[in-house]
Amino acid sequence: MKTPHLTPWRLAGLLAAAVALLLVACTKPAQPAPAGATLVLKAGSPGPVINPNIYGQFAEHLGHCIYGGVWVGPDSPIPNTRGIRNDVVAALRELHVPNVRWPGGCFADEYHWKNGIGPREQRPKMINTHWGGVVEDNSFGTHEFMDFCEQIGTQPYVCGNVGSGTVQEMMEWVEYMTSDADSPMANLRRKNGHDKPWKVPYFAVGNESWGCGGSMRPEYYADEFRRYNTFIKNYPGNRLYRVAGGSNGNDLNWTEVLMAVAAKQMNGLSLHYYTLPSGNNWQKKGSATEFDEAAWMATLRNTLHMEELLTKHSAIMDKYDPQKRVGLIVDEWGTWYDVEPGTNPGFLYQQNTLRDAIVAGLNFNLFHQHADRVAGANIAQMVNVLQTMILTDGPKMTVTPTYWVFEMYQVHQGATSLPVELTTPDYKLGDQAIPAVSASASRDAAGKVHLSLVNTDPQQPVTVTCTLEGLAAKAVTGRILTAAEMNARNTFEAPNAVKPVPFTGASLAGATLTVALPAKSVVVLEL
Ligand code: AHR
């Protein structure tokens, strides 16, 4: 066999081929490096104060929210104080809940408050026609609700009945709760064991009057709002913040008409928007726990629709109220899935996973970014219903991943918002794309700056490089909420499966903060 002649050209070619082979051998299979996000935190240009009421909650006579979740009655073996369960109160106290909206929801427009006062065994019963057709025995009424508010340290946000009530009924309820006069309703309250009036800072005139609250047209409801509102009085020592019933999500005309006709009479205008994985398919919304990445993406994309709603409704309000006196009150928000298999479809009982925690973080970041107009928000709901904080089953109780986001984010309550300029890569799935990172920041009364970050991508971490302007940070600490699985959840058997832990992925170098944000996580940093 003839040996090939090794010319210098041939030698060079062989060497080049060897180097190429070596490079191929050393390179890992194609894995796109996660793109980074950049953020400028403008601590020197403070924005509006984040109204603590953005962290409000909602407790309706629906399924096991009130009955079983809050109220077990004084004779229950479940530890309670005057009928209100102690474990739930203890968990809620940790959140510093600013207000609780009650008694509904749709239930509010069929609730007659006089049936819920006086000796409990004598209270008339009614059918809860909206929620499962169950018999409501009215054992949890005004006094019990006020006691609950005092036990958890929150303020009442009472929703009055426009749909099936009367002006007189609403007028008398406000007198019963808030008047200290020698007057018929105040004396009835005294007879029922409560001498001094309560403070009721927030009062809604009806709920979803376009639907379960009376199927009204906006023009009609606007006039009704003005009429009812005329007769609910500010008794000495109590001033009502009057909330008019607002739009069903995308209905901009409702906001337009209400602002045109009744802006002067209201302090707040509500907005309801729920996140369904299926978008608008209410027949098949999707499971709370058994879902794939496509449903994860759809849920988060639909959550981010809140941004468009806040922007568009605010723009209409700006036209009529450029001073931003009237607050936009998002008094129902959260995820709405198919009920847990085997449970009453009218009870809206659903589990809660890491996906819900991400939804909560995204919504809060949006509310903070719109703090100039959003003066309140109430997650639906507090216990055992929809995107709940707490699940109970008889004496058992667990808090949910959503609870932990409320707990982590509470540092923003009443703090001054700080603008963040964010450039983020997208989280992509098929032909869908949403921003991978969401962020908001604020400075509290003690001068501490908090930066909250959400990574929507369930697979890829993101490095967020932050430039801190107007802030000489000396140290960074934080906590993270994440889990290995998208549908990780807390159960009665494993109540601590999803819980925040200290976060060590943030480092400071002068004015640069670098955050290694893990996939599907919520992080709150303190600077
Ligand atoms: O939160 C459940 C229901 O959703 C409320 O009762 C109603 O206002 C809304 O349609």
Q: Where are the domains of the chain?
A: 35-46+419-526, 52-414
Give pLDDT tens digits for 338-360: 999 999 999 999 999 999 999 99
* Residue-wise DSSP of 121-158: GGPPPEEETTTTTEEE---S-HHHHHHHHHHHT-EEEE
Structure token digits, residue 348:
């809206």
Assess whether pLDDT exceeds 60 at residue 34.
Answer: no
Identify the pLDDT of residue 456.
Answer: 98
Which pLDDT value is given to residue 20? 39
**Cα of 137 to ligand 1 centre, how many Å?**
21
Give the separation between CA 198 and CA 213, rounded to whole angstroms: 26
Cα 151 to Cα 89: distance, rounded to the nearest angstrom: 7
Which is nearest to 368 in space by CA: 475, 444, 274, 292?
A: 444
| Bridge partners for 453 per DSSP | 439, 523
Mean pLDDT over 392-402 rounds to 98
pLDDT of residue 421: 98
Q: Give distance in angstroms: CA of 161 to centre of ligand 1.
A: 14
- 250 confidence band (pLDDT: 50, 70, 90): very high
- Which CATH number fits the domain 35-46+419-526, given the four candidates 2.60.40.1180, 2.30.29.30, 3.40.50.300, 3.30.1330.60? 2.60.40.1180
**What pLDDT does 17 receive?**
41
Separation CA 365–CA 377 (nearest Å): 13
Q: Tell me, what's the pLDDT at 522?
A: 98
Q: Quick one: which atom of ligand 1 is closest to the CA of 381?
A: 1
Scanning the structure block, which residue is given the tokens 């490079």? 23
Exactly one of 60, 110, 208, 224 is catalytic; name it: 208
Mutation test residue for ligand 1: of 159, 212, 275, 388, the one with most atoms within 8 Å of CB = 212
Q: Identify the residue whose C-alpha is closest to ligand 1 atom 4.
A: 105
Q: Whose alpha carbon is nearest atom 9 of ligand 1?
A: 105
Give backbone dihedrals phi and psi of 158, rounded to 5 degrees, phi first.
-95, 135
Angular region, 295: left φ>0, alpha ψ -120 to 50, beta rest? alpha
Per residue in 171-228, pLDDT (tens digit) is: 999 999 999 999 999 999 999 999 999 999 999 999 999 999 999 999 999 999 999 9
- Tokens in use for 33? 């490096």
332 is catalytic: yes
Edge to edge, what strands does the sheet with 37-42 contain? 420-423, 37-42, 462-469, 512-517, 506-509
Residue-level pLDDT at 32? 53
Question: What distance in angstroms lies between residue 105's CA and the mean position of ligand 1's atoms?
Answer: 5
52-414 topology per CATH: TIM Barrel (3.20.20)
Digit-coded pLDDT (tens) for 490-527 = 999 999 999 999 999 999 999 999 999 999 999 999 99
Q: Which residue has the CA at smallest separation from atom 8 of ligand 1?
A: 105
Alpha-carbon span 483 to 311, nearest angstrom: 32
Give the distance (Å) from ligand 1 centre to CA of residue 474. 46
Average pLDDT score over the chain: 94
Asked if pLDDT for residue 29 goes beyond 70, the answer is: no
Mean pLDDT over 297-321 rounds to 98
Query: What is the model's pLDDT at position 212?
Result: 98
76 CA to centre of ligand 1 in angstroms: 29
Mutational pocket test of ligand 1: of 65, 101, 208, the residue with most ligand atoms within 8 Å of the beta carbon: 208
Task: Give residue 28's pLDDT.
Answer: 42
For atom 5 of ligand 1, the residue with the nearest CA is 105
Matching fold, domains 35-46+419-526 and 52-414: no
Q: How far does the centroid of ligand 1 lie from the alpha carbon of residue 142, in Å?
A: 20
Catalytic site residue 60? no
Which residue's alpha carbon is nearest to atom 1 within ligand 1? 380
pLDDT of residue 280: 87
Protein residues with CB under 6 Å of any ligand 1 atom: 60, 104-106, 207-208, 332, 380-381, 386
Region 387-407 average pLDDT: 98
Taking the centre of ligand 1 as the mean of its atom positions, its distance from the CA of residue 272, in whole angstroms, is 9
Query: What is the value of pTM for the model shown?
Result: 0.93
User: Where residue 106 falls among pLDDT bands split at 50, 70, 90?
Assistant: very high
For the segment 121-125, the average pLDDT, to the nearest whole number, is 97
- CA-to-CA distance for 88 and 100, rounded, in angstroms? 14
In this prediction, residue 237 carries a pLDDT of 97
327, 375 contact by CB (below 8 A): yes
How far is it, in rounded angstroms, from Cα 413 to Cα 410? 5
Q: Which are the contacts of 249, defined by CB distance < 8 A and separation ≥ 6?
A: 271, 272, 273, 274, 309
- Closest C-alpha residue for ligand 1 atom 2: 105
- What's the average model confidence in pLDDT over 115-141? 98
Residue of minimum CA distance from atom 6 in ligand 1 = 105
Percent of the chain at pLDDT exceeding 70:
93
- Counting ligand 1 atoms within 8 A of each CB, the residue from 207, 271, 275 with the most, and so the one to mutate, is 207
